[in-house]
Structure 1
Amino acid sequence: MNKDLLTLAPKLKTLTDDVLYHDIWERRLLNKRERSIATLSVLISLGRFEQLPHHINLAKQHNVNEYELIELFTHLAFYSGWPAAMSALKQLRDNQ
């Protein structure tokens, strides 16, 4: 996530920090690993590739390994399209 960009919109930064990361990501019904997989799936499906490096790194911190990421991207090729999966793989490779 681009922290510099959030300085342009202080309220968006507050909502990101307080609501998204300190509330939503801390809820217990889904663990952080599951939330990371869900988030990556949505970002890839919507073509939000600019956000992928941050969320790939976050997923790795949440114990999603590279083989699981590759399997996720392969699975998503059938639901989000080959270009989306290939773009996600490129982000994974470029941000190692």
Structure 2
Amino acid sequence: MTDQPKQVGGGRNLFEDFAPKLAELTDDVLFDDVWNRPELSARDRSLITVVLLAAGGHLPQLEFHLGRAVENGVTQKALIEALTHTTFYAGWPYGMAAMGIAKKVFTE
């Protein structure tokens, strides 16, 4: 699983001047360390992340991570299926809201 592109965060781009510690932790711990561990591929991490964000109703982050998931090799068809499946476990309102974000991301 080491033949994948290195995952890079955008914390410093978003918050370096406003919340420098959060920016540092996002880039150096979450992305540089956790996302790049070899035990899971970036594709698998992306799929897990999308499902968890949908299940928790974290829609702004979901929008970003749907795009990242496609960059990491998850197909739109697989993401739609994962969100459909998640709807039955996480709850209909969360699933429908997540699918609305997916439709927006994939059709714009």
Where structure 1 has 5 or more consecutive residues not aligned to the other structure, the ranges are none
Distance 1:61 1:89 in 2: 19
Counterpart residue type for residue 102 of structure 2: L
Where structure 2 has 5 or more consecutive residues not aligned to the other structure, the ranges are 1-9
Query: How do 1:1-96 and structure 2 match up within 5 A?
Result: 3-4=13-14, 6-7=15-16, 8-96=18-106
Distance 2:100 2:38 in 1: 32
The percentage of aligned residue pairs carrying the same residue is: 39
User: 1:88: Cα distance to partner?
Assistant: 1.1
The 4+ residue runs of structure 1 with deviation greater than 6 A are none
Counterpart residue type for residue 28 of structure 1: P
Higher relative contact order (CA 8 A, sep 6+): 1
More helix as a share of residues: 1
TM norm structure 2: 0.82
User: 1:42: Cα distance to partner?
Assistant: 1.1
Alignment deviations for residues 21-52 of structure 1 (CA, whole Å, 9 cap, x no partner): 11000001111011011111111111111111
